[in-house]
Amino acid sequence: MTQQAPDDFPWDTTPASLSGTQPKLAGRMIDGKFVVGLTSEERYGRWAICEDLAQQLIAVVHKDAAKFPEHSRDETLQRVRRGTQTKDWVSVVEMDWLIRRLRTLLDW
């Protein structure tokens, strides 16, 4: 049985933009089938990376909140977001999910 990512985790992490006048889909051939977007296994892998990162960032958020107690929770999360985005570890939609996940994990 294939493990699955949570329903709220994004499917389309890297939307393709192809030039031309005709509509196009960016896809790949996998096992003789044309696949657009992530497979279930790829999506689970991306979720596992994001979940691991969220767990690691809990300590970072706590440290930043303690260092800057005058900041609101939203400001703290935005600071952590900006710092994490510079690493290019996750896509924009994955980062959105990651921040929502941090809110849940921190009960913020």
DSSP per-residue letters across 37-85: S--HHHHHHHHHHHHHHHHHHHHHHHHHHHH-TTS-HHHHHHHHHHHHH
Residue 18 has pLDDT above 70, yes or no: no
C-alpha distances in angstroms, 21 versus 14, 17, 18, 24, 46? 21, 12, 9, 9, 32
| Confidence (pTM) | 0.79
State the pLDDT confidence band at 2, using cuts at 50, 70 and 90. low
pLDDT category at 30 given cuts 50, 70, 90 is confident
Q: Please compute the mean of the pLDDT values over residues 44-70 and round it to a whole number.
A: 97
pLDDT at 94: 95
Q: Could you report the per-residue pLDDT of 72-86, keeping only the tens digit for each?
A: 999 999 999 999 999
